Amino acid sequence: MIADKEIKNMSAATKPRPKYYEFNLAHMWPPAVLSIFHRVSGALLFFPLLPLALWILQSSLGSEEGWARWRDVFASPLAKILALGATWCLAHHFFAGIRYLVLDMHFFTGKAAARATALAVFALGAIATLVVAGLLW
């Protein structure tokens, strides 16, 4: 009977299907890496960077001592390096987001163009981080 055969086949198909995940960023094409970094940088901007930024804004505006404390903190090389990490998160999220807005308008949607714009976003993120590094040092 055809029905029985189909049921048999279906039960055979319930075996766990093999999954192949590619986790190596170096093996992905640039737009995929851009997308993953967009998500990771966004999550980092939510935590810890947003509450940290609000705290810095509050205490630096709140009192002379608060302003002086953060000025001293940002004089240290470690704080500057962390600030550069934060800058890269913001810059990458910003430029990758602009790229998504451009894609929404159906520009640069071809494979070669998508790769080129992704590489441009990585370059702009690096340039923005270097500019801030120049301002900090």
Partner 1 sequence: MTHGYAKDPVGAHYGTGNWLVQRITALVMAAYIAIAVPYALWRAPASHAQWKALFAGGFFRLATMLFLASLIWHAWIGMRDILIDYVHHYAMRLATQAAVAIVLAFYVAWSFSILWGR
- Tell me, what amino acid is at 13? A
Stretch 46-65 residues interacting with partner 1 (CB under 8 A): 46, 50-51, 54, 57-58, 60-64
Closer to partner 1 at the Cβ: 44 or 116? 44
Closer to partner 1 at the Cβ: 94 or 122? 94
CB of 119 to partner 1, least distance (A): 21
Long-range contacts of 132-136 (CB under 8 A, 24+ apart): 132/83, 132/84, 132/87, 133/80, 133/84, 136/74, 136/80, 136/83, 136/84
Length of the chain counted residue by residue:
137
Chain residues in the site for partner 1 (CB under 8 A): 39, 42-43, 45-46, 50-51, 54, 57-58, 60-64, 66-68, 94, 97-98, 101, 104, 106
